[in-house]
Structure 1
Amino acid sequence: MLIAPGCFAVFIFANIDDFKNLLDPLQEVARTFKSKIMFIYVDINNENLAKPFLTMFGLEESTNTVVVAFDNGMSSKFLLESKPTRSNIEEFCSKLVQGSLLTYFKSQPIPDNTEAIVQVVVGKTFDEEILNSKKDVVLEVFTPWCFNCEDTSKQVEKLAKHYKSSCNLIFAKIDASANEHPKLQVNDFPTLLLYKANDKTNPIKLSTKSSLKELAASINKHVKVKDQVAKDEL
């Protein structure tokens, strides 16, 4: 879809009855931002039109009204996270054209990792669990539809058990189909990344085709494992 140069596009996904209730206030907002924002209505029940866009926000199962926006190149996306009232939509649009609206990155709900051998990371916890962690982190980036991801997941779990006594090394995984982060740009799945405690900006890519012993050797090459008293054999 082409967006006019210098314009933003705001999409309203709603069923026809809800949209009728929004139409008058939306027309007022549209007049306010004429020539700056294109307003587009999409029937949320039309899967062929609505679902591809809603999937980009992790909202493909939504049945309630959703308001989103894209910049001119459709490279940045934005989500109205408050109730879609006239005042909230107007404020959303105002921040959009001012450039003060935060780009939206989709995320699953924050999980409970209390008993997890491999920590589950989501978009909302990527900073805390990976970038801001004072530990070395081996991160598995996977998708549910990836053919080889299951084998890699089994390897990561075995490695996590092998290094379970280490106090400075943790293992984690993130579903890239349901979670996004500006510092995680991966297009090849599965991917194994080693984030060293002293350099989180340049993760080391580990080979997913290596054997368990080869992966352990790679980890030991880059990480000084501490307090590893007992471990499972590989």
Structure 2
Amino acid sequence: MFLQKIFVLCLFYCACFAKEEDVLEFSDSDFESRVAEHETALVMFYAPWCGHCKKLKPEYAKAAEDLIRNDPPIALVKVDCTEAGKETCNKHGVSGYPTLKIFRNGEFSQEYGGPREAGGIVKYMKAQVGPSSKELTSVQDLEKFLKAENDVSVVGFFEKESDLKTAFLKLADKLREKVRFAHSTYKPVLEKQGVSDGIVLFRPQHLHNKFEDDSVVYSGGAVTGEIQDFINKNYHGLVGHRKSDNRNDFQNPLVVSYYGVDYVKNPKGTNYWRNRVLKVAKQHKDKINFAVSAKDDFQYELNEYGIDYVKEDKPVVLARDAKNQKFIMKDPFSIEALDSFVQDLLAGKLEPYLKSEPIPENNDGPVTVAVAKNFDEVVLNNGKDTLIEFYAPWCTHCKKLAPVFDELGEKMKNEDVAIVKMDATANDVPQPFDVRGFPTLYWAAKDSKDSPVRYEGGREVDDFVKYIAKHATSELKGYDRKGNPKAEKTEL
């Protein structure tokens, strides 16, 4: 038994190292000669201490394992910008880590603009080689193309040259990094499909179901924009498989069922629940979007709804409406419960979920504390111009700013100005405030709270005072418009 465990561990470690070995490492001494050996190469310029690089490294290795077997093969390369690759990184204008660039036959071709996870890297890079639309010369070619990837395929069938074919090929060039395209002009292929001048979107085998057709035929005109709209509308079907690299495809209003979605290890179990979602989705397809997502991949989204861990196999259903408000289906999953939840959501009968700290019992300090539950009161409807800081408790820059904000609050105590702070990690941030880093500051004038302005000025007290004095709706009592203190009036 002990030897068996050792054997399994050896296999595991060998597999890990094999993946690492699929990523080539070049240095200043050999970069130009070795990158020229590859028709297409993706190069990651990195620094060993970089957190984002460490996060990307295993995804990059997984992608390399797949792409090295591609026809033609695509090389994934890494260059250490802190040691043996310094000159190469400088030559190619690397100023941040990781930086990814695509090279063709040794020459820089373009910046990499794709996803940063294995599946997305593979899909993006496969689209970089060969024609944007693969020509199919036999029925076997068509069948092989449709089965080659677990992804949507869009195929054009053209008996002769036409405006539709021209528009199709033009769109293939535009969307080659996102969609698999192929076309055929061969009679047996056209006869097999029963289309002489048309476009068909084929759904992958693992997503076939009884609630929608396995393929959809385009019925619009020879216009690239119309074909693209057709693809966008039908690409994910009634219930799409929402993943890290395609999550932005799914627009609100959206209902997502989170569970153990895994089409590699458990396709039957995955479709058991998806089919139940499909039955409901078919009834509401014109009013709301549906998707399924792997709960482990989207734990951060579950956290946004106050859900730390999903123990049961049944899906957890979460939703966002057109206003981006959040909703939780509280009843255990069933077809009836999901249908009722969707109907109530569309009818506006549900109470939105709001992640919020408790409202402070005492909020009389120099800086007012905002939480999600009192945000309207202390920010949007306070009748004052407002400078608000969105912070994170662990943020070093936020900690440095705290005493500055306290001093600013004291200076603005008798003014028609509110100085506010909010922990954006413990509270939902309402639109239109957009927080992507910490600290993020906004200025919200009292007469236009619906269009706050991001504060990009200095972080010292005087910087804030001058900004507020200049932009205040009414001139401050203690400062002129330039931020200079006004002389105190004395009685005669």
TM range (shorter): 0.5 to 0.7
Structure 1 residues 109 and 137: CA distance shift in structure 2, 3 A? same
1:79 corresponds to: 327
Tell whether 2:302 aligns with 1:54: yes
- Compute the displacement of 1:158 (Å): 0.9
Distance 1:105 1:158, change over 3 A: same
What CA deviation, in whole Å up to 9, does each residue of 1:114-173 have, x standing for no partner?
33331111223222221222111110111234331111222111101122233x222111
Structure 2 equivalent of residue 177 of structure 1: 425
| Range with bigger deviation, 140-149 or 3-12 | 3-12
Q: Which runs of 5+ in 1 are unaligned?
A: 14-25, 43-47
Which 4+ stretches in 1 moved above 6 angstroms? 26-29, 61-66
Please identify which structure carries the higher helix content: 2
The alpha carbon displacement at 1:180 in A equals: 2.1
Q: Name the SS for the 1:201 alignment partner.
A: coil
Distance, in Å, in 1 between the alignment partners of 2:462 and 2:329 is 46
What does residue 395 of structure 2 align with? 146
Match 1:132 to one of 361, 381, 392: 381
Structure 1 residues 150-169: aligned runs within 5 Å: 150-166=399-415, 168-169=416-417
Contact kept? 1:11, 1:41, Cα under 8 Å = yes
Q: Which amino acid aligns with 2:396?
A: F
Are residues 28 and 218 of structure 1, via their aligned partners in 2, closer, same or farther at CA, if it must alter by over 3 Å?
Answer: closer
Instruction: Determine whether 1:225 maps to 2:473.
Output: no
2:455 and 2:291 map into 1 onto residues whose CA distance is 44
Q: Is the 8 A contact 1:192 1:208 kept in 2?
A: no
SS at 1:33's partner residue? helix
Question: Are the counterparts in 2 of residues 29 and 90 from structure 1 also a CA contact under 8 Å?
Answer: no
AA partner of residue 33 (structure 1): V
Aligned residue in 2 for 1:189: 438
CA RMSD of aligned residues (A): 4.1
The residue aligned with 1:212 is 461
Structure 1 pair 9–210 and aligned structure 2 pair: CA distance change class (3 A): closer
Q: 1:32 to 1:198 in 2, by over 3 A?
A: same
Secondary structure of 2:425's aligned partner: coil
Against the structure 1 CA distance between its residues 32 and 94, is the aligned structure 2 distance closer, same or farther, given a 3 Å change threshold? Answer: farther
**Do the aligned partners of residues 68 and 214 (structure 1) sit closer, same or farther apart at CA in structure 2, a change above 3 Å counting?**
same
- Whole-angstrom CA distance in 1 between matches of 2:397 and 2:414: 28
Query: Which amino acid in structure 2 is aligned with residue 4 of structure 1?
Result: H
Secondary structure, counterpart of 2:452 in structure 1: strand
CA distance in 2, matches of 1:93, 1:62: 21
CA gap of 1:195–1:123, structure 2 versus 1, over 3 A, is same
Corresponding residue number in structure 1 for 2:258 = 11
Offset, 1:190: 1.2
CA contact (8 A) 1:141 1:173 kept: yes
Structure 2 unaligned segments of length 5 or more: list them.
1-118, 120-150, 152-234, 240-254, 261-272, 480-484, 486-492
Secondary structure of the structure 2 residue equivalent to 1:129: helix
CA distance in 1, matches of 2:363, 2:438: 27
Aligned residues: 207
Tell me how far apart the structure 1 counterparts of residues 419 and 367 of structure 2 sit (CA, whole Å).
5
Please give the alpha-carbon distance, in whole angstroms, between the structure 1 residues aligned to 2:333 and 2:445: 46
Equivalent residues of 1:67, 1:79 under 8 A apart = no
Structure with bigger gyration radius: 2
Residue 89 to residue 112, structure 1, CA distance change in 2 (3 Å): farther
C-alpha change, 1:11 and 1:93, in structure 2 (3 Å) is farther
8 Å contact kept, 2:258–2:317: yes
Q: Give the letter aligned to residue 173 of structure 1.
A: K
SS at match of 2:396: coil
Q: Give TM-score scaled by structure 2 length.
A: 0.35
* CA offsets 1:47-102 (integer angstroms, 9 cap, x no match): x556323222233378899943257xxx9574326454867554213335x47467
Counterpart check, 1:109 vs 2:358 = yes
- Is 2:280 aligned against 1:33? yes
Give 1:191's aligned amino acid: T
1-structure distance, mates of 2:429, 2:454: 19
